[in-house]
Chain A
Amino acid sequence: MKRENFTPKLIKAFRLVLSAGLVLFTLSVSAQITGVITDKATGDPLIGASILIKGTATGTVTDVDGSYSITAKAGDVLNVSYTGFTAIEVTVGAESVLNITLEEGLLIEEVVVTGYSTTKKKDFSGAVSIVKAAELRAVPSGNVEQQLQGRVSGVTVVTNGQPGTSSIIRVRGFGALGGNQPLLIVDGQPVGSSDFLNPDDIESTTVLKDAASASIYGARAANGVIVYTTKKGSRNSKKVNITYDGVLGFTDPNVAGAPKMLNPQEMADYTHLAYRNNATANGVEVKYNHPQYGTQAQATIPDYLHANGQNGVRGSVDVEAIKAAALASPGTVFLIKPNLAGTNWYDEITRTAGLMRHTLGFSGGSENSKYYVSLGMQNQDGILIHNTFKRYSLRANMEFNLTKRLRFGQVAQFTYREINGQQGGNGGIGVADDESDVLSAYRMPTVIPVFDELGQYASTKAGGFNNPRNPVRSRTLNLQNDKSFNANGVGLLYAEFDVIKNLVLRSSIGADFTSNFFKGYNYRYLGDSEPEASNSFNEGSSNGLGWVNTNTVSYNFKIGNHGITALAGAEFLNTGKGRFVNGSGLNPFSMDLDYVNLNVVQSPVVSSGLFSGVNFESVFAKVDYNLNDKYYLSGTIRRDGSSRFGINSRYGVFPAIAGAWRLTGEDFLRANNFITDLKLRVGWGQMGNSNNVDPANQYSLYAANRGLSYYPIGGQNSGADEGYFRSRIGNPDAKWETTTTSNIGFDATLLDGKWEIVADLWRKNTEDLLYTVPLPGVLGTNASAPAVNIAKMLNNGLDMLIINRGNFSSDVTYEASWSSSFLHNEISYLAPNVLFFGGNGYRGVSPVRNAVGQPLSSFFGYKVLGYFKDAADVANSPAQTGKGVGRFKYEDVNGDGKIDATDRTFIGNPVPKYTGGLTFNVTVKNLSFETYLYTSIGNKIFNFSKWFTDFFGSFEGSAKGIRAKDSWTPALGDNAKAPIWESHSSVSTNAGENSWYVEDGSYLRVQYLSIGYALPNTLIKPLGLSRAKLNVAATNLLTFTKYTGLDPGVGGDVDTNFGVDVGNYPVTRGLTFSLNLGF
């Protein structure tokens, strides 16, 4: 039997049409015009593009090489169009060869890739957003999801500038009390994180937002689904398409924008001011007894901050003797001179950080196959010293026909990633960390130099500066030799079989294997007041393997005006099974890198563990019906089972239904010139979630834990005996959380595509929310409480996208795209008698309360009325612990005549009321300009870093900020920016959570501004290039905000505990150069 397949048939069809066209031409008496029509971006020939002579019925289509031939006379206008590309008009001149390039754009026939199926967007009833590769590439970030910020309405991206971190994404608010991360699908395969993806490999990203679009993923879809599709190559491309994408750039740490600290003399002066204020407050005589600043009213800085045990030395010291002592006892003797100019510690720990990314792509295909292979590397430095990120990736996607009805394919990526010197937990997401190096930079007095006179790191060995650590020392010594890397392979094998025409069976098996290793060295350093006494070493590794098997059958057919697409499938998966082991130890004989391992350390501590992942088993079905391309109805149902839940309640059924009506398909709108396309969509559906539940939730368990339940029962001084404790109380009845989503929206295209508007009004109601009801302490708090289905959450909002495009002249085209999201989030119920639960505490301040009737993570504390202005004011005000002149005066919220914990109230919340992004592109011939602005409005930030910098009494002696100069005085009164400068610490000063910390975190950021130049064909053709584009871009160029901290885009924890700035890793300005080549 002759080998045959589908594609040649298509070609035959094209040829048929082509010859039909030729017949038409021969009737005319004009010159013959030939040429090739190609994709402007890739240089690929466009097969089947249509060419029509304007005002006539004469036309043709291109063949498989993109070639055409048409007979026309000079002055004729050719209308060239291709699905998904902007149609253009070309006037025929004298030349007989007319090569034309088309650009993707206007009225693009977008497709919605759900992972199981692909649907034309115009036929789709659900709420989705699609981000194309070109847009994603625009922002030169290492991680793909960071690029979604502001481009997709309804999606919140909480990100930080640290390379190698993934961002936190929330689709349409916060459905649950934790675990609100969306489901990530890469080429049909669920993955735990998208941080391995190379942005250059991505073809498109689709965000499924409502039930109608996402509930095909049923129980895992409640938080939305983000579907990444990687490049696949195309069949019948005559040659291998080689692309090169390169980015070079750097990020500036924004030293000028860092919070300003008091200079050495100011710090001394303000220390003495505090002593005076202390004396006044306490009614005693002032004493100047700081170890450095002298005993006179006028503070002075000594000649040496520290000289071998002596602090605040005035006059000379015997330097030679100290050097000798240092030689005799290395590491313990310091000679520290003041840095009178002041050390800028933020400057010292940061740098201008380089970024480099190169991707080489090969794509192509034959009649029976297509492929895309790429090699990528990214090398990016963080703005903090010794923070680096490297990623090397190999992607190989291919598909080939085994027979004319059987296709076989594979997508796979192998990635090596190395992240060093990252700060914050949870893979760098939880960057806001009380002991972070960024915070250390605000805590280290400016008078201390980086190095002492003996060339050692200088620090708080010098008395009177409390306990900050030299962050240059800790970053350099303790990070320079550390290494942490990850090798990851993720891929999917699939087979597709056409049983009969349009009936396709598909089966796939995917796997995600990851292997991590880290090693860390910490070095003894005795120069801090709280020194690091030992050399130490730790290393560890882990591995995990998850897999997924998906089997689907799909059928689509058309009977008359009735179009039906049906899909059914079954899916089985395991989220990852694996083990980890790590160990640490102290003081090896030598810290030589070639020597140290766990065998040669003292007091080795080893731990290990294993995990089994969660198994899911699902069946699903979906039917899409459309009548006459005018009325659409779509129904989805999915049944999921999960090993997270007990035998009685592990299955959940999640239905969705949606409809759409194309009004422009009706007669009454058909004739109008204003509305080109208008589709109304309405959808309802249910989805599930179980992310926030421990896999062992159904079990009551005991455990042994060295740190919690061991005990040296024999009275021995070394080693302990194993003991057990109840580690978990189980709930076998927990079941899926159910989120019911309703969505109503429309897609409108106006004035032939000049305007596009997409708007969706949505409501997301989560019930049976899994909530870990706090157990009474009498039960024993080491046992984890079970999650029970009890709480409720409400989110609603409006997503909008408005696009306007057009041309100022024939050479100058523009497109403006404005996405908007309005969000309201509210906890509607927790549990009987439970009205709230708290968040993290920082230094005794607990800023967050998650309460019924309030958004998640609301700030809760005292409301500051102002400052007590005098003794009479203090005396006449309600009782308040620690009240005093110049201290915070709180509102008596409950009116009981005293200020106590019951007077705390809600003082703001970090959920933005509005987020939006504006992209504006202008193309002038070969030049293109793009700018992208992002704004977040109505979010509050609890600026906890002020606790360290704005109170003299917070680690007294450590560095303080310039707001000290605006601290309370009788003259400033309520205009003061901080309370009176003094040592006192109580709820009336730094020990209370209050509205003074809460700042408006609204901001507008010019996130991207670029100029690109596409080299003309005449220039690059001789070089064998089909495409060459240069681009210069500035990122995070300007930020407009009233926020006083380093960066209003506060990362860190999300869901029940976010918006608290504890020395955040900032997003800062950068400049990148990129080059895109096609061969």
Chain B
Amino acid sequence: MKTNFNWRKISGLFMATVVLTFSCKDDFLNVPPTGALANAQLASKAGVEGALIGAYSALGAKNFTQVAAPNNWVFGSILGGEANKGTDPGDFSSINPIQRYETEPTSGDVNGTWNSKYEGIARCNAVLRLLPEANDISAADQKRIIGETRFLRGYFYFELKKIFNSVPYIDETVDYGTGIEKVPNTPAFWDKIEADLKFAYDNLPETHSQAGRANKWAAGSMLAKAYLFQKKWAEAKALFDVVIASGQTTNGKKYGLVASYSQIYNAANDNNEEAIFAVQSANNTGSVNNSNAFDVLNYPYNTGTDGPGNCCGFFQPSFDLANSFRTDANGLPLLDGSYNSGANALKNDYDIESSTAFTPDAGPVDPRLDHSVGRRGIPYLDWIAHPGKNWIRAQSYAGPYSNKKYVYYKSQENTLTDGSGWTRGYSVMNYTIIRFGDVLLMAAEADAELGNLEAARAKVNQVRARAANAATWVKKPDGSNAANYVIGLYNTPWTDKTAALNAIRFERKLELSGEGHRFFDLVRWGIAKAELTKYLANEAVKLVTMFGGATFRDGKEYLPIPQAQIDIQGSDVLKQNTSY
């Protein structure tokens, strides 16, 4: 009896378990993903706005190679001869061939740069695809969202254009599974960049309540720059003139030059009247990626608490750049190119120990030198005076100078830096992608190309006058000027177009050094080979290990299409740039 009872009970229990588990089997194998959102969850105003923030976030090239940084410190400044990699030969050695103009298509940094821009484009396209799915967005908001998105997409393609020249143009109509990998690369997409920027210019409001957004004038400035790159001088001039006359920042400041040159590079002065469009950065966000993580290597080396950062001594200004700041007695630059020769060259502490006495150069220099180049004996912001060799990892390899722009102040440590990373060097200074000083010089260039030489001279002088404000020069602790600063305006009317263009171009070098523009300027001017051959000749004598035997060859104006992408998409889809 008892046995029977057990048999029934236990069998019943067994069967119940089986039936129970089988009966809910459809649900059982549906395990929803965790910590992520489905497409439908984003189909609302809040979702689309969030996706747009995601697109802005891609400006910082977060988690990609430091070389992909929006400030183009490698592809704009180092390739442009303003600086070299710095540090020592072994550190980040994948940059070594790049700065020698020997970039291989297999370079991971090149691939990372490509990917970082397309990540931004993919995020823009996602916004444009999500937008029609949401039905709670007003027409005005739709216009604004599309405008901001297309501005960003236009910017990313502009970057690709400058760096690679020929790339596949992907818009929101192609995606995974709909042939995205079959879109071939082409150099002919300026019209697409113009269309995006034009839409943004025509549709965006003049101001936003949030300072980080692109407004009408950011789009206008970028569009005018796109005209300039295509040598559409008349369109460029017309639009630049409107921007200069009427432009204002997103937070409602009339466009103008910051009174003190050094205050362009101060986190406390972010989103100033000169900042047309900037990569915003902040601390206490839960990730150092939201600060200037791309700049974290670019501080002097081994400074301890006497200087900023912890690392690593990258991005050292070149001899050529430092020498370019030499002026004549009138405070004008040596436009004949003699700044590198003989006594004109800046006296420096190359090969001199920090413990050996050294007196800095006493000749006339442009005051922007000491806002741009860290050199021995000159106060390094509010840190100590640059001690020379002790702050340089391998002076014989990379020269005596340190990067000085986009460096945070001692007084800002922990308030305008993010200390939660492995180094102290996560500053929250915005990198300004396009600033009013740049616009003035581009406008001057368009003027000069069109023969309006006096209008051009006025704009150049406007830029120089700001630098000439003696109150803003670097001072010693006793209040005297840190060096013999002499800067003057171009007081003689310009009559020769070539000379005028030469002056404008040189002014861009001085004003915008280290800001990632130089190489792209040289390429669009068609003088990259000539200029960089001279540059290499000058540097290679001193930095033999770094530059010995390096030459700039035709075709190196653009980087190679990443081999990794050709491997994925096929060489019938992606054609390698010539000379690679």
Contacts and interface: CB of A to CB of B under 8 A. Distances in A.
A587 B419 contact: yes
Interface stretch (B192-200, B227-235, B279-287): B279-287
B330 interface: no
B424 A708 contact: no
Contacts of B1: 1
Interface string B387-431: 001100111110000000000000000101011100110001010
A717 B38 contact: no
A723 B89 contact: no
B579 to A, nearest CB: 13
B165 to A, nearest CB: 16
Interface in A719-736: 719-729
B285 A720 contact: yes
B479 to A, nearest CB: 26
Contacts of A723: 50-57
Contacts of B570: 833
Interface string A515-529: 000000000001001
B215 interface: no
Interface string B536-573: 00000000110010000000000000111101111000
Contacts of A717: 267, 270, 281-283, 416, 428
A603 B418 contact: yes
B10 interface: yes
Contacts of B210: 713-715
Interface string B470-513: 00000000000000000000000000000000000000000000
Interface stretch (B18-26, B336-344, B369-377): B18-26
A531 interface: yes
Contacts of A611: 34
Contact of A955 (B91, B111, B311, B414): B91
Nearest to A785: B176
A623 interface: no
A784 to B, nearest CB: 10
Contacts of B530: none
Contact of B118 (A526, A781, A953): A781
B290 A612 contact: no
A659 interface: no
A710 B290 contact: yes
Given A549-B17, A701-B33, A956-B90, A777 B565 contact: yes
A476 interface: no
A367 B122 CA distance: 71
B88 A606 contact: no
B429 to A, nearest CB: 9
Nearest to A992: B93
Contacts of A718: 282-285, 428
B114 interface: yes
A499 B14 CA distance: 12
Interface in B46-64: 47, 50-60, 62-63
Contacts of A613: 31
Interface string B103-132: 011101001001100110111001000000
Nearest to A586: B419
Contact of A551 (B18, B114, B289): B18
A404 B414 CA distance: 74
A695 interface: yes
A703 B57 CA distance: 13
A778 B180 contact: yes
Grouping DSSP codes into helix (H, G, I), strand (E, B) and loop, the A interface class, with mixed when no group exceeds half, is: loop
Contacts of B428: 717-718
A843 B93 contact: yes
Given A702-B51, A710-B287, A841 B89 contact: no
A780 B280 contact: no
Contact of B57 (A499, A725, A901, A953): A725
B11 A533 contact: no
B312 interface: yes
Contacts of A282: 544-545, 548
A463 interface: yes
A497 B287 CA distance: 58
Contacts of A585: 420
Interface residues of B, number: 131
B246 interface: no
Contacts of A803: none
Given A726-B122, A983-B397, A549 B31 contact: no
A983 B89 CA distance: 7
A780 B118 CA distance: 5
B309 to A, nearest CB: 9
A783 B304 contact: no
Given A310-B355, A956-B89, A986-B96, A699 B17 contact: no
Contact of B122 (A310, A695, A783): A783
B181 A724 contact: no
Interface string A728-767: 1100000000000000000000000000000000000000
A1034 B139 CA distance: 80
Contacts of A615: 28-29, 31
A10 to B, nearest CB: 20
Contacts of A467: 91, 311-312, 393
24 contacts: A463-B389, A497-B7, A529-B301, A572-B21, A587-B419, A612-B31, A615-B31, A650-B29, A700-B39, A703-B35, A706-B286, A709-B53, A712-B212, A723-B52, A724-B37, A724-B54, A775-B181, A776-B181, A776-B569, A777-B115, A777-B568, A778-B118, A983-B397, A985-B89
* Among all A-B residue pairs, the 9 with the closest Cβ atoms: A780-B122, A715-B211, A723-B53, A985-B89, A707-B287, A723-B54, A712-B282, A282-B544, A706-B286
Given A587-B419, A716-B280, A991-B96, 15 more contacts: A1-B3, A463-B302, A531-B304, A586-B420, A611-B34, A615-B28, A719-B284, A722-B50, A722-B53, A723-B57, A775-B568, A779-B181, A834-B567, A953-B90, A956-B394
Interface of B: 1-3, 6-7, 10-11, 13-14, 17-18, 21-22, 25, 28-39, 41-42, 47, 50-60, 62-63, 88-94, 96-97, 102, 104-106, 108, 111, 114-115, 118-119, 121-123, 126, 168, 170, 175-176, 180-181, 183, 209-213, 250-251, 267, 270-271, 280-290, 301-302, 304-305, 310-312, 351, 353-355, 389-390, 393-397, 414, 416, 418-420, 423-424, 428, 430, 544-545, 548, 562-565, 567-570
